[in-house]
Every structure is written in C-alpha cells, then in structure tokens.
Chains A and B, each alone.
Chain A
Amino acid sequence: MLEVQGVSTRYGQISMLRNVSVALGEGEIACLLGPNGAGKTTLIRTIVGIVRPVAGSILFRGERIDGLKADQIVKRGIGVVPEGRRIFPKMTVEENLRMGAYADWGTREVESRLEQIFDRFPRLRERRRQIAATMSGGEQAMLAIGRALMGRPKLLLLDEPSLGLSPLLVEQIFEMIQAINRQGTTVFLVEQNARKTLALAHHGYLLQKGEIVGAGTAAELGESDIVRHAYLRA
C-alpha cells in the first residue's frame, strides 16, 4: 500500500530525515513511535507532499508519488489527520467535513458520506452549524478524523490524534481507529503513547533524530530494549 524507501529530507540546510524506510501492507495498522522532534511529523508531511524528499522514493499502491503536489497525492486516496488537527477554525463543522471531500465537491456522493460521518459521530451532527474553533478538544479531534474520512481514504495518516485529550477520550479515539481499520482502511498512526499504540498496531517503527532505529511487530517492539527504556518505563 505504502512504501517509503530511503527517504531523506532537509529543512533548508538542516538535514531532518535520513534514509527512512517504512512499508505498510493493505489493511494494516502500522505505527511510528519516537520522541518529540524525532521527525515523525516531517515524515507525514513528506508522504503527503508538503515537504519534498531530497533522496529516496515513495510509492503508494505501486505508483511513485514523491515529487507530486500535495493535492495530487491526497486525491489518490490518502486521508490525513495532521498534527494539532488543523481544522479550519472559522468554518462550521459541516464546512470542515465538506473540505475533506474537496475533490468530489458538489456531488451527491458527498451528501451520503456526510450522513455516514454524522452517523458515526452523532456529536458532529448536533453541532454541524457550529463554528469549529468553538468546539472542545475532543470534538475537534473527532472532526479532524471525520474530515479525513470524508475523502474515503484507502490510507489514513494520523499524527498524534490523541494529543492533549483526557484518558477517556484517548480510549475512544483508539477504538475509533480500530473500527476504521476493520472497515478496510489502512492506518499509519504516529504516537508518543507507546503502550496503547502497540496494543493497537500490527507492526511499527521507531524514529529517533531522523533515523529509523527500530522496526518489527508490535510484540517485538514492545520487547525491544529501546522502547522499553524510552517509553515503557513501568
């Protein structure tokens, strides 16, 4: 589904990602763990074409997408819940959701997807005319996920969707991600919460200072010294 092969990026003169490789099979949940500043968000931004890699290649469903513009990349079936959610603050809930289906704007298809999202998140239906910025953090997280789903993605990228939420909401978000995956969407989940994430993911990667320093099944990662040391100090 997604193959990131030897990708390097830089911000100006500063090298950020170095020779990063990640592979996701169809239907999987893979996770990316790593401390703050490791480059996780940079990898997400690189996959969707906001940042151009200086080396390496990215394949989505067998076709190269590195070098394409962001709008061309997401149109192929990638949905994003960006770091910090990045909902459109002055649009209503409904307008935000419609932005998620921007490529299909104005079609009847959008209306039926909207209904499906509202069925999945009844709270968003109640608030459909509310200005997004005035919603609570949990609601905004739901909105960001709903918006990403509006594009019917084959691959969903989530960059720390649970950040700043209460444990109860975090639980809900993780359950939601699992449900989305069960319905056939491949998921790439960036998180700092290693324990919960490894319980959910099939396999994962560990990123540190721009380099992949560990990879394996969720069980293997959970057992690995680096992860236990850095994240699971129980």
Chain B
Amino acid sequence: MPPLEVILQQAFNGLMLGVMYALIAVGFTLFFGVLDVIHFSHGDIFTLGAFAGLSLTFLWGAVGLGNPAVALLLTFLGALLLTGLIGVGAERACVKPLAKAPPLMTLLATLSLGLVIREAILIFYPRGADPKPFPAMLPQGLWEIGGVVIRYENLVILAIGAGAMVLVDLIINRTRVGASMRAVAQDAEAAQMMGVNLNRTVDFTFFLGSALAAVAGILNGLYYSEIHFIMGIMGGVIGFSAAAIGGLGNVYGAILGGLLFGVLQTLAAAFIPRGSEFRDVVAFAVVMVFMVFKPTGILGEKTIERV
C-alpha cells in the first residue's frame, strides 16, 4: 500500500487527465446522441486543436502580443473556432453524405479522415514528425499541502476544463440550439415538424464537440508541455472509452467516464509495481470488465436528451 499522500497526489493527477479525457468524451457522446454516429476521427480533431493552439501562440509572438492572459484567451478562442469549423467540415464530408448508408461506411470514412489528418500534420507542419514543445502560458509555482504538490497551472487547467463543461451544460439545457439538439436526439422527424433546421443542428453539434476537443488539445499541450501528431490516437481511444463507460449519448456519463478513466490510470501507476508502464492496460482492462457487466454505461441511455 503506497502512502496516503502518493495516493492523493495520483488522484489529483488523475483528475487532471480526466478533465481532458472528459472533454474529448463529450464530443463523442454528443455526436452519438444527436446523430447516432461514432466519429472515429474525433481524436485527430483533438490533435488539430492542439496544433491550432500552438500555431496561434507563434502568431501572437510574431505580432508582439505581450499580455499573457490575452494571448491565452485568444489562443483558446482562435483554436476553438478553427477546430470547430474543421469538425463541421469533417461532418459534411464524412458523416452527412453517408447518413443513409450502413453505419460501417461512416466508420470507414471517419477512420480514413483521421489518417488524412495525421498525415497532413506530418507533411505540412514543419518537422511534423517530431514532438512539438508547447509554451508554458500559465502561472508557474506550486503549493504543497501535506506532501501533495499542487501546481498553479494545474489548477488553471482544471478550472478551464470545468468551465468548459459547465458552459456545455448551459448550452444544451438553456439555449435554443441546445433545445434543438435534445429534440433531434429524441426524435429528429418530430423536431423538424416543430421547425428545427436539421442541418444547422447537426452542424452546431459538430462545432461544439470539436471545439471542446480543441480545449482538451490545448490543455494537453499545457499539461505535458509538448504535443505530437499521433496524440489523437490514444486521446480518441480513451475519449471514446470514457464516453462508452458513461453511456454513449449521455453527456454527464461522458464527463464521469473521463474522470474515472484518468483516476484509474494514475492510481494504477501508484498501486501496481511498474504500474506507470501498465497504467493503460489496467485502465482498459477495467473498462472491458465494466462494459461486460454494464454495457449501457454508468448512466445508461442517451441523455443529451434530458439533462
């Protein structure tokens, strides 16, 4: 049994990872809830978000933007917008045209798109094959409470992640476009009969999910101080697993699933000898056991539909 402060430390670290996973998972779950599709290039959209953020930091440097808070804000806003629009493009190219085709076609199309995205970064981003250092844009420094180290920047990452999730909740439950998403998720034809523009709702859903992936991508860069063109493979698999644990289509389940996965990974590292090498194995094993016993996920059915 490791000492308590190690467990707490790992749990905190797990929460950090979990927030990022949750942000990716919410996208998966939104796409599935509204459109019944699994968007397999979503992990690579997450990568694109990180690269968009990184490119923007260079831009701010080039134009001499001094204020770090403003630079951070603009990095997020710019990357969200860009990645959100790319997500809409992905949907228009690989999902909507195949709406009436067998689901396998959408799977293949989105998997291929993921490959295209990765290759595009590899080829077009300068020295795209190398890991890219991500600048530290958050306040540095730390607290130590009873042997547990809490970095300021990690708190900011948590706050941004939590803020994004609260915002999604408000959008889904308090706005007109959110109501249209819930309506389409529950009964697309009835929604149209009430005057919902189906295409616009689907576009917005992909914009929102992809923008959240961009938040996750930038947070990932800030947390690890580097990003890599293949980071979306693992990010996608974990995000999808988290969404599945929570119950595909259920936003709160996806958040819970993401946090759970992050904490599982880090606790595995703490509890199991050489656990840091096996943390993914352990986390995925738990997911598999979980899916066997509760295949509908923690919170069950689709509830983008209802809170």
Contact = CB atoms under 8 A, between A and B. Distances in A.
Interface stretch (B52-60, B80-88, B177-185): B177-185
Contacts, number: 76
Given A50-B189, A82-B189, A86-B187, A74 B306 contact: no
Contacts of A49: 192
A151 B195 contact: yes
Interface residues of A, number: 28
A131 interface: yes
B18 to A, nearest CB: 27
Contacts of A89: 186-187, 305
Contacts of B196: 71, 99, 102
B112 interface: no
Contacts of B190: 82, 86-88
Q: Interface of chain B, helix or strand or loop or mixed?
A: helix
Given A90-B306, A105-B179, A74 B195 contact: yes
B191 interface: yes
Interface in B183-213: 183, 186-187, 189-198
Nearest to A69: B197
Contacts of A82: 189-190, 193
Contact of B179 (A71, A98, A103): A98
Contacts of A151: 194-195
Given A74-B193, A80-B193, A102 B187 contact: no
A100 interface: yes
B96 to A, nearest CB: 14
B306 A50 contact: no
Interface in A77-103: 80, 82, 86-91, 95, 98-100, 102-103
A167 interface: no
- A-B interface, 3 closest residue pairs, ranked by CB to CB distance from nearest: A90-B306, A86-B190, A70-B192
Interface of B: 176, 179-180, 182-183, 186-187, 189-198, 303, 305-306
